[in-house]
Amino acid sequence: MILTVTLNTALDLTYGVPALVPHASHRVTDLSERPGGKGINVARVLTALGHDSVVTGFAGGATGSVLRRLLADLPPGRAKLTDALVPVAGDTRRTLAVVDGTTGDTTQFNEPGPHVTADEWTAFLRSYEDLLTGAEAVALCGSLPPGIHVGAYAELIRPARAAGVPVLLDTSGEPLRRGIAARPDLIKPNADELAQLTGSREPTRATRDARRRGAHTVIASLGPEGMLAVTPDGSWQASPPAAVKGNPTGAGDSAVAGLLSSLVEGLSWPDRLRRAVALSTATVLAPTAGDFDRAAYEELLPRVAIEEHADGAA
């Protein structure tokens, strides 16, 4: 079982409009709602890949009830997805994505999330430590809701490491800065998050700097250029066979699922990167935001280019 933590879950709403025009009224032509938040998205892809997953974090209020109903109503995947979300009094946030039918561009609006009390955080910690007992790996994903201290991810990394469970941290800003000091096994920042952490926009220098700050392995998402991995065993860059156009929503979460699934399967770093890049690209190509196009994934996987950096181990 792979455990995914989404402290700031969301009900994801997607509106399709013929064209998005500022200051204008729009007729929505397509509407979808789905359970969201980065860790939930990761778990959906993991189950599609055949890995049992447990989602935890917080859910509350009327929106949280809808989210949990949608989780329960998800079509069966190749494996089991279990809801272990912890209830809170506040209302789970909503995110709104508006997709421009003319350009394909997406405009995103994200609510902050419910205020989590000290007692609710304590209840979550008890549940989280129990769930670690059966976990092969854990992903700590996304933003922190109001009320959660900025060092929360560092607090969650320590018991996972003590239990011998590999930890992937996928967040940004100060929670990433604090979390990396607790020495997660893997972080997966994008180029902007990495630059914010290290002050450098040169990918190789920035990934090495991030690793010196405490991460065992750093995998940087470089958008259409693929992913760069700096590990104790070496450095590699994986690139998709061609640039693609589509909706990038959830592409990073699919990459996390690829990294986690291949980690527990014991694949080599080049094969882990191939899977992550192919899944990410197939998510951009999917007709529904956050899903991945399986046929595209299977076609892309052997075509992802891998380049080993000459300097070898990081």
Residues with a known catalytic role = 253
Cα-Cα-Cα-Cα torsion 307, 283, 251, 256, nearest 10 degrees, comes to: -70
As a whole number of angstroms, the distance between CA 158 and CA 156 comes to 6
The CA angle 214-204-139, to the nearest 5 degrees, is 45
C-alpha–C-alpha distance, residues 9 and 91, integer Å: 10
Q: Is 202 helix (H, G, I), strand (E, B) or coil?
A: coil
C-alpha distances out from residue 206 to 34, 158, 199, 219, Å: 35, 25, 8, 11
Alpha-carbon distance of 52 to 57, in angstroms, equals 17
Cα separation, 35 vs 57, whole angstroms: 13
Looking up tokens 């399967």, which residue turns up?
265
Strands, E assignment, the chain: 2-6, 10-17, 30-36, 53-60, 81-83, 86-88, 93-100, 106-110, 137-141, 167-170, 186-187, 217-221, 227-231, 234-239, 305-308
* Closest CA relative to residue 248, chosen from 213, 215, 292: 292
227-231 and 234-239 strand pairing: antiparallel
Name the residue among 52, 59, 55, 42 with its Cα closest to residue 76. Answer: 52
* Angstrom distance (rounded) from CA 256 to CA 216: 16
Distance of CA 209 to the CA centre of its chain: 22
